[in-house]
Structure 1
Amino acid sequence: MLNHGGKRMGAGRKKGSGAFGEATKVVRIPESQVETVKLWLDNYKEHVSDASLEKLDAISGMLEEATTTLPLYSHKVAAGFPSPADDYIEARLDLNEKLAPNFNSTFLLKVQGESMRDAGIFDGDILVVDRSITPRSGKIVIAALDGELTVKRLAIRQDGTYLLPENPDFPEIPVHSESDMVIWGVVTSCIHQF
């Protein structure tokens, strides 16, 4: 019987035998970027010793957690009468998880104008918008209406669809059948700085 093809015992590259001395993983890289990745890896290996690589990996893991999370204290802040403070850290909060749980479908927009002031959205605020959420009546949405971008509360009524401001100085905007409206996403959060 001929022994051709198929997997053979002991064949192939040994685990950990590569330039970095660790297991490898197959990754798809655009052909135009292969040389760039190879050069980066060569440069990385050349300038960092094996002992430093382990330390660097540990440090980068700690830095990544420290730079992407903030401490969340367990004590609630009284909006009425003051209460004694408690400095116990309950957890570390990743703002990406809190503000953008659907990270790949989330984007930010800066607000211009005062039409949503009574909803707590002010000129200069930054809105967190999620494209993956289905726009429903009552939700605050980013809509492109006849080529104009606006943030308004969506209202779907028996008499039609409306974009509602949250400021009595601004009129309701009816969406007519001949209107060209595309909803970009649903507003999930507003970042307001003092």
Structure 2
Amino acid sequence: LFLPDELDLNDYCISRPSSTYFVRAIGNSMTDIGLHSGDLLIVDKAEKAHHGDIVIAEIEGEFTVKRLLLKPRPGLQAMNPAYPTLWPEPEQLQIFGVVTAFVHKTRGHD
């Protein structure tokens, strides 16, 4: 266990403030990576999305948080086996940013 003398969560979690935004997760499709409904997502819209990244995406007007698959074809994978992998047509998939960190409260969480 290491306790830094000073810790600024903004410095730790945000590398590009001008392209970073926060959203709250809704739903349980990502619980296998520890991401739960109500968690705070830190999203960088300037970060290039790569295969395996957790992203904010839009499919047919709906926003979702999923793991981006690029091979063998574009898809959005839930990290909970109760939810299916989504296989949208490439023109239906728009990435709004890469989740670079998230905050999960272990107590006092609504």
- TM-score (normalised: structure 2): 0.90
Residue 88 (structure 2) aligns with: 175
SS in structure 2 of the partner of residue 183 of structure 1? strand
Give the gaps of 5 or more residues in structure 1. Answer: 1-75, 78-88
Give the gaps of 5 or more residues in structure 2. Answer: none
Question: What is the correspondence of 1:1-194 to structure 2 with a 5 Å cutoff?
Answer: 76=1, 90-158=4-72, 160-177=73-90, 179-194=91-106
Q: Aligned partners of 2:82, 2:58: CA distance in 1, in Å? A: 21
Moved over 2 A (4+): none
- Which structure has the highest strand share of the two? 2
Q: Aligned partners of 2:53, 2:62: CA distance in 1, in Å? A: 19
Q: Percent identity?
A: 36
Q: 1:181 to 1:115 in 2, by over 3 A?
A: same
Please report how far the alpha carbon of residue 182 of structure 1 lies from its aligned counterpart in structure 2 after TM superposition: 1.4
Please report how far the alpha carbon of residue 180 of structure 1 lies from its aligned counterpart in structure 2 after TM superposition: 2.1
Cα RMSD, aligned residues only: 1.4
- Describe the superposition over 1:105-163 as per-residue Cα deviations: whole angstroms up to 9, x where unpaired: 100010110000001100110100011110010000000111100000000112x1110
Q: Which has the higher contact order (CA 8 A, sep 6+)?
A: 2
- TM-score (normalised: structure 1): 0.52
Q: Is the radius of gyration larger for structure 1 or structure 2?
A: 1
- Describe the superposition over 1:53-107 as per-residue Cα deviations: whole angstroms up to 9, x where unpaired: xxxxxxxxxxxxxxxxxxxxxxx16xxxxxxxxxxx6431221111112111100
Counting matched residue pairs gives 106
- Which structure has the highest helix share of the two? 1
SS in structure 1 of the partner of residue 75 of structure 2? strand
SS in structure 2 of the partner of residue 167 of structure 1? coil
SS in structure 1 of the partner of residue 69 of structure 2? strand
